[in-house]
Chain A
Amino acid sequence: MPCLIAIFCPSQSRNFIQEFAQLSSENTVFKLIGTVLVKQDQAEAKSNVNTRLEFIRSEMFGFSSDPIKSKLTNKPCSRRVEGQIKDIEQNQEKKKGEVGFYCYSHPGLPLSLPFPQLVQIQTALRQAPPASTPTLPTPV
């Protein structure tokens, strides 16, 4: 009996996909768990594709792509990748403003600095011995 040994790995090859498409009810699907090949129900193997799609989408967007399900759970979820990206971007903007404020308050620095220069300043500050660094007045 022809069989297909499906090794589910992060990147499935095109060959695997084509083989998978050509499966008839005669075929037996095995999956590799550790070092053991386990017979797997073909319908189950195919439904796993949908399950994985659901999982990936929920990891990305925090809600299901299913229109009915997503109506129930379509809320921004900060734990999911998309939400995390938005959060970090917002925090970055805030922090950028803060860094800008300290540069602005520093009398010796030009008013607008591109970021690479900020890093240079930071490095210079870190390397400078504390004794030789004059204490500047705190911003008003």
Chain B
Amino acid sequence: MSLELKLQQASTEFQQLQADLSRVVEARQRLDAQLSENELVKKVCHV
């Protein structure tokens, strides 16, 4: 395989990882928001 192809493949894979990371970070932020929300409910309501 030529060097260009290898570079292209590696950088495509890198970009795929970046996309994965941003997707997971988004999920993490959503969970974070839900966590603090439910903690607030718990705190205010003395559940």
Which residues of chain B from 1 to 47 have a CB within 8 Å of any chain A CB?
Answer: 1-4, 6-8, 10-15, 17-18, 20-21, 24-25, 27-28, 31-35, 37-42, 44-47
Total A-B Cβ pairs within 8 A: 106
Query: Quick one: which of A10, A52, A88 has the most chain B CB within 10 A?
Result: A88
Contacting residue for B35 out of A11, A12, A56, A88, CB 8 A? A56
CB of A27 to closest CB in B, whole Å: 13
At the interface, is chain A mostly helix, strand, loop or mixed?
Answer: helix
Q: B24 touching A103 by the CB < 8 A rule?
A: no
Contact with B along A38-73 (1 / 0, CB 8 A): 000000001101101100110110000000000000
